[in-house]
Amino acid sequence: MNVMNNTDELKTVVEIPLELDRLANNAEEAARAFIAAGTAANTVRSYRSALTYWSAWLQLRYGRALGDGPLPDTVALQFILDHLARPLDNDDWSHLLPPGIDAALVAAKVKSKTGALAFNTVSHRLAVLSKWHQANQWPSPTEAVGVRTLLREARKAQSRQGVQVRKKTAAVLEPLQALLATCTDGVRGIRDRALLLLAWSGGGRRRSEVVGLSVNDVRQLDAETWIYTLGATKTDNSGVRREMPLRGPAAQALAAWIEVAAATSGPLFRRLYKGGRVSGRGLSGDQVARIVQRRAKLAGLEGDWSAHSLRSGFVTEAGRQGVPLGEVMAMTEHRSVGTVMGYFQAGSLLGSRASRLLENTKAEETGANLEVHPYSTEAKAR
């Protein structure tokens, strides 16, 4: 093997050597394409919306375009002060965004209405700005100590004034049963019942995971058990397909829907035409959310309902019933213990004996031997 000849040939092919710490332009574009393709569609939409807002706000506030270069931490600080309401001494609220700019953002349709933004919205847009800087290999202004301190203290100030971070209502067992009780309207009810039970009993599936399932992703083991297969999800993009169980009522509901849908391929959960005729088109994530909201309204349930209610409800109910956290996370595929613990602990505490000390004392005094479930209005004899 003639090493010298091979080296000469390579020199004629590579006209401009790359620097070791830099990517070629086309390689950088390819890397961006991989990142975009590996990100859930809902996440991409939320990123796009946040960056559109940043672009409009920067132009109006600073006369600067997003992408001109890294932003200093003062811009992130100003964004927080412009958009988060702070309490005043007279019990009123104020934020620093000039009314003219506020109105212009609404007119440009990047903001739904004038006024301060919710804490969660501001936090999300700061997180997207950080992602944007990371993608461009710039230092993120949101990591500055001053920015993180201001955001933390602003949250405390709002909390002291009674402003709480909004969470979707968790569909624990009783409200879930109320949702299912409304699914009596023919084909639509059969579909919605199967969807609700798969999303809930199948491990609190995200709406993107539910609409991503195809008919070929499910198979029946016996009358009481089905298996469904998950591919890429928000927290698992490894490409390894994982099988999850569906048992009892969830398995029965899925069997009923598949029989009615009469499909051998394509989306598992489909849109319906008038008259209950099944379409070949799959549901969208937004339609899953609307199904949950519609069923909650029909059931007369109060609260802030969404597709996420099924996921949080599954975890909360598992905590109520004392299911080990590891088993819960194996089903939900949560990667962060901190993310799942809030719901799990809330459910665990609802069933805790420590929360019923007075009831236990009264039971001893009256000689009764009763167990009162924290969500039940009736005492059940042991």
**pLDDT per residue of the chain (382 residues) written in tens, 0 to 9:** 444 455 454 344 444 454 444 444 555 555 555 555 555 666 777 888 888 899 999 999 998 888 888 999 999 999 999 999 887 776 677 888 999 999 999 999 999 999 999 888 999 999 989 988 988 889 999 999 999 999 988 888 877 766 655 677 889 999 999 999 999 999 999 999 999 999 999 999 999 899 999 999 999 998 889 999 987 555 545 556 788 899 999 999 999 999 999 999 999 999 999 888 999 999 998 899 999 999 999 999 998 899 999 999 998 898 888 888 888 888 888 877 777 777 776 777 766 777 677 765 555 555 544 444 443 333 333 3
- State the Cα–Cα distance between residues 353 and 355, nearest whole angstrom: 5
Helix (H, G, I), strand (E, B) or coil at 115: coil
- State the Cα–Cα distance between residues 56 and 65, nearest whole angstrom: 8
| Per-residue confidence (pLDDT) for residue 27, from 0 to 100 | 54
CA distances from 26 to 22, 23, 30, 70, 234 (A): 12, 8, 6, 22, 27
Residue that is written with structure tokens 């700061």 in the block? 126
- State the Cα–Cα distance between residues 348 and 322, nearest whole angstrom: 7
Q: How many CB atoms lie within 10 A of CB 176?
A: 22
Angle between helices 186-201 and 308-320 (to 10 degrees): 50
Domains of the chain: 25-160 (1.10.150.130), 173-350 (1.10.443.10), 352-382 (no CATH)
Name the nearest CA neighbour of 80 among 106, 64, 65, 61: 61
Angle between helices 186-201 and 285-299 (to 10 degrees): 110
